[in-house]
Amino acid sequence: MADEMKKTKEEKVNSLLTVCEASQEMIEKAKADGVSLIFDRAEAMKPCPIGVEGSCCRTCAMGPCRLPAPKKKAEGEEKKRVGVCGATIETITARNFVRMIAGGSASHSDHGRGVAEVFLLAAKGEIPGYGVKDVPKLLQLALDFGIDIEDMEIEEIAIKVGELAGAEWGKQEGGLVMMKRAPLKRQEIWRKYDLIPRGIDREIVELMHRTHMGVDQDYKNLIAQGSRAALADGWGGSMLATELQDILFGTPVPIKGSINLGVLKEDEINIIVHGHDPLLSEMVVVATQEPDMIAFAKSKGAKGINLAGMCCTANEILMRHGIPIAGNFLQQELAIVTGVIDAMVVDVQCEMQSIHDVAQCYHTEIITTSPKAKISGARHIQFEEHNPLETAKEIVRAAIENFPKRTSKIKIPGQKCDTVVGFAHETINYLLGGMFRASYKPLNDNIIGGRIRGIAGVVGCNNARTVHDQAHLTLIKELIKNDVIVLSTGCSAMACGKAGLLLPEAAAQYAGSGLAEVCEAVGIPPVLHMGSCVDNSRILIAATAVVKEGGLGDDISDLPAAGCAPEWMSEKAVAIGQYFVASGVYTIFGTTFPTVGCDVLTEYLFKGLEQEVGGMWDFATDPIEMAKKMITHIDKKRKALGIDKARERVLYDMAMRRELEAV
């Protein structure tokens, strides 16, 4: 007890599993209900120390070859570490790293391919309920693809766009069309280092070939292929997914929502849509509002149907329809522990297999919907792309039928928080410049003038090896306190939402005076929710728009900007990190870094890449240190642009103002 009293506030927080109070409550409830959670498994099973640093090769059956970093290197005479085949530690670590990029790029891009296929069917009028919602965006994309739109009907344009966009996956040469959206200097850099992806699938397949036993055994050459595959994701598969989803379902505009487990309702049917793909969940939104479904729910004794989201599917439907979010990655089991989830409907990515086991302890029905993502023992209702509304209604019916089976083990945490979300690049443009002069100029002017110190993209997952949401929130609060505006996606954006950072009022409470002034004038939060994981491509486009607006250099690498994934865990995060680095962005990861077993490779990723592509990786586990490193980079870029003095003046003015206030 005395020891407990002596603990600092920080130590007390660190002994927690999460800083989210609703999650704490459900972790306690799970304990009482005898349910095993990810937190328990993470405690019981520590990560392999050799695997965690990237020093284990299991590429062939002569291995696995384990090459841990020596504990104490005798000065100047570290023994050369090689596998059975002679592969060096540089080759092995680089292989492991770029294979993570392949996995991540494949996931985003295969999601994008599915969207492109459905888009084409919808353009041909073959999917009832789906059509073109954002015509200007369709026309812009048509121009990107070089389509002569004069004299063409919207339907014809949509078909042509669908065909050309879909062809980007199987393209063999010529470069991806969307790369041309980047600043010209960026394109020159990519050409100089031969990094322009030839086709989305091609770069991922080639990466897998090169990392087979006995193929590419030059770590820099492997990282270059990693960049091609990652760029094929960021400026290809992900960007096309975002663009086509916006055209089909509407480009997000600011909308109010609410987030956390408190959005669940005891007296209604609760359906959670979880995963990443909005193709089906868009129709689940419609199905839950159909009068016959509501009547059916009432016939079972429920007051109505409450739809909520989880992970990035949640971001998609929150941004377009204001559907509430139940939580982020580490809350998927906890939502079921409330005892009120009648169906959890999953599509693809970030769905833990354990949700099926947790559901066994309550009444929840886990429903898989993608032929690519089944869970043993779970019910499968396949997404029928020619009639998604029918699939959606079947799912809603199943949830309603499950409602009477609820057990008595029910408890819904009270916590939920309002949010304002939906800041697509177009929205930022409009909000800053107004309808008739939409532009990034006010943003650039405020950066140049020093009110806004810089821009940070903070994205990515939760990780059961760190305190849930803590690094996201500590880092982001530190950034906005220092006048850095934050663009956020994925689970990071949800952590912000739960902590009230996605509200305009948060500017006055948390932001530095310069950033707060701008947020208050425009009416925006200091953290802008830009969507799901594939929507990180929106950040690339926003960065490009800032460059094109002028006054802040002529490439993304010139901007006072930085990226971070403080609680990352998925391969997709590594792909995102690499496409940001290869696009010129300083990018820092928390938790762990998968190459730390090899100093030479890590040095190349952290320093060498900057000489080539202008961006580089970095790593820190302490969120305050992460923020400091990002701000140091931002200040370095401000100095290079010659705008550091403007900020000093602003700071001086502020200090004077505070002094005056104190008198």
Q: Which residues bind ligand SF4 (CB under 6 A)?
A: 57-60, 62-65, 83-85, 87, 92, 213
Nearest approach in angstroms of CB 482 to ligand MSK is 24
Q: Which does 350 bind (CB under 5 to 8 A by kind): ligand SF4, ligand MSK, none?
A: ligand MSK
Q: Which of 513, 604, 583, 492 is nearest to 193 (CA)?
A: 583
Question: Which of 59, 419 has the CB closer to ligand MSK?
Answer: 419
Nearest approach in angstroms of CB 221 to ligand SF4 is 16
Q: Which of 57, 134, 67 is nearest to 99 (CA)?
A: 57
325-344 residues near ligand MSK, rule: CB under 6 A: 328-329
* Residue 61: Cβ-neighbour burial (10 angstroms; 0-12, 13-18, 19+): exposed
Question: Which of 251, 595 has the CB closer to ligand SF4?
Answer: 595
In one letter, which amino acid is 651?
A: L
Q: Which does 85 bind (CB under 5 to 8 A by kind): ligand SF4, ligand MSK, none?
A: ligand SF4
Nearest approach in angstroms of CB 229 to ligand SF4 is 20
User: What is the C-alpha to C-alpha distance for residues 306 and 308, in angstroms, rounded to an integer?
Assistant: 7
Nearest approach in angstroms of CB 64 to ligand SF4 is 6
Nearest approach in angstroms of CB 84 to ligand SF4 is 4
Nearest approach in angstroms of CB 568 to ligand MSK is 7
Question: Which of 458, 547 has the CB closer to ligand MSK?
Answer: 458
Which neighbouring-strand residues pair with 266? none
- Buried-state track 207-243, b at ≥16 Cβ within 10 A, e below 16: bbebbeeeebbebeebbbbbbbbbbbbbbbbbbbbbb
User: What is the C-alpha to C-alpha distance for residues 24 and 225, in angstroms, rounded to an integer?
Assistant: 43
Contact between 453 and ligand MSK by CB under 6 A: the answer reads no
User: What is the C-alpha to C-alpha distance for residues 318 and 329, in angstroms, rounded to an integer?
Assistant: 16
User: What is the C-alpha to C-alpha distance for residues 357 and 230, in angstroms, rounded to an integer?
Assistant: 34
Q: What share of the chain is helix, strand, coil (3-state, %, to 5)?
A: 55, 10, 35
Contact between 533 and ligand MSK by CB under 6 A: the answer reads yes
SS3 18: strand
Contact between 312 and ligand MSK by CB under 6 A: the answer reads yes
Cα–Cα distances (Å) from 273 to 198, 276, 323, in that order, read 35, 9, 10
Q: Which does 60 bind (CB under 5 to 8 A by kind): ligand MSK, ligand SF4, none?
A: ligand SF4
Q: Which does 343 bind (CB under 5 to 8 A by kind): ligand SF4, ligand MSK, none?
A: none
User: What is the C-alpha to C-alpha distance for residues 432 and 438, in angstroms, rounded to an integer?
Assistant: 7
Question: Which of 341, 533 has the CB closer to ligand MSK?
Answer: 533
Nearest approach in angstroms of CB 310 to ligand MSK is 9
HEC letters along 158-173: HHHHHHHHHHHHHCCC
Question: How, if at all, do strands 305-310 and 269-275 pair?
Answer: parallel
Contact between 461 and ligand MSK by CB under 6 A: the answer reads yes
258: which DSSP letter? E
Cα–Cα distances (Å) from 235 to 120, 226, 537, in that order, read 20, 14, 7
Taking the alpha carbons at both ends of the chain, their separation in whole angstroms is: 45
277-306 residues near ligand MSK, rule: CB under 6 A: none
Considering only residues 308, 334, 350, 501, which one is a binding residue for ligand MSK as defined by CB under 6 A?
350
Question: Which of 213, 361 has the CB closer to ligand SF4?
Answer: 213
- Buried-state track 626-639, b at ≥16 Cβ within 10 A, e below 16: bbebbbebbbebbe
Contact between 460 and ligand MSK by CB under 6 A: the answer reads yes
Nearest approach in angstroms of CB 85 to ligand MSK is 33
Contact between 490 and ligand MSK by CB under 6 A: the answer reads yes
Question: How, if at all, do strands 484-489 and 586-589 pair?
Answer: unpaired
Question: What is the CA 580 to chain-centroid distance, rounded?
Answer: 12
Backbone angles phi, psi at 546, to 5 degrees: -65, -40
User: What is the C-alpha to C-alpha distance for residues 400 and 404, in angstroms, rounded to an integer?
Assistant: 8
Nearest approach in angstroms of CB 92 to ligand SF4 is 6
Contact between 242 and ligand MSK by CB under 6 A: the answer reads no
Size of the site for ligand MSK (CB under 6 A): 14
Question: Which of 93, 536 has the CB closer to ligand SF4?
Answer: 93
Contact between 491 and ligand MSK by CB under 6 A: the answer reads yes
Which neighbouring-strand residues pair with 344? 272, 366
Q: Which does 416 bind (CB under 5 to 8 A by kind): ligand SF4, ligand MSK, none?
A: none
Q: Which of 173, 202, 328, 253 is nearest to 524 (CA)?
A: 253
544-573 residues near ligand MSK, rule: CB under 6 A: 570, 572
Nearest approach in angstroms of CB 225 to ligand SF4 is 17
Please enumerate in sequence order all residues whose Cβ is within 8 A of that of 181, keeping only pairs 6 or more positions apart, or say none. Answer: 144, 235, 239, 541, 544
Contact between 100 and ligand MSK by CB under 6 A: the answer reads no
Q: Which does 624 bind (CB under 5 to 8 A by kind): ligand SF4, ligand MSK, none?
A: none
Contact between 429 and ligand MSK by CB under 6 A: the answer reads no
Nearest approach in angstroms of CB 593 to ligand MSK is 17
Cα pseudo-dihedral 131, 137, 138, 142, rounded to 10: -170
Question: Which of 427, 532 has the CB closer to ligand MSK?
Answer: 532
Nearest approach in angstroms of CB 576 to ligand MSK is 9
Question: Which of 97, 362 has the CB closer to ligand SF4?
Answer: 97
Nearest approach in angstroms of CB 222 to ligand SF4 is 13
Q: Which does 131 bind (CB under 5 to 8 A by kind): ligand MSK, ligand SF4, none?
A: none
Question: Which of 41, 209 has the CB closer to ligand SF4?
Answer: 209
Question: Which of 62, 167 has the CB closer to ligand SF4?
Answer: 62
Q: Which does 68 bind (CB under 5 to 8 A by kind): ligand SF4, ligand MSK, none?
A: none
User: What is the C-alpha to C-alpha distance for residues 279 and 313, in angstroms, rounded to an integer?
Assistant: 9
Question: Which of 326, 547 has the CB closer to ligand MSK?
Answer: 326
Query: What would you report as the CA-atom Rg of the chain, rounded to the nearest whole angstrom?
Result: 25
* Residue count of the chain: 663
Backbone angles phi, psi at 342, to 5 degrees: -85, -30
Contact between 466 and ligand MSK by CB under 6 A: the answer reads no
Question: Which of 212, 437 has the CB closer to ligand SF4?
Answer: 212
Nearest approach in angstroms of CB 56 to ligand SF4 is 9
Please enumerate in sequence order all residues whose Cβ is within 8 A of that of 390, keeping only pairs 6 or more positions apart, or say none. Answer: 384
Q: Which does 572 bind (CB under 5 to 8 A by kind): ligand SF4, ligand MSK, none?
A: ligand MSK
Nearest approach in angstroms of CB 174 to ligand MSK is 30
Question: Which of 219, 383 has the CB closer to ligand SF4?
Answer: 219
Q: Which does 312 bind (CB under 5 to 8 A by kind): ligand MSK, ligand SF4, none?
A: ligand MSK
Q: Which residues bind ligand MSK (CB under 6 A)?
A: 276, 311-312, 328-329, 350, 460-461, 490-491, 532-533, 570, 572
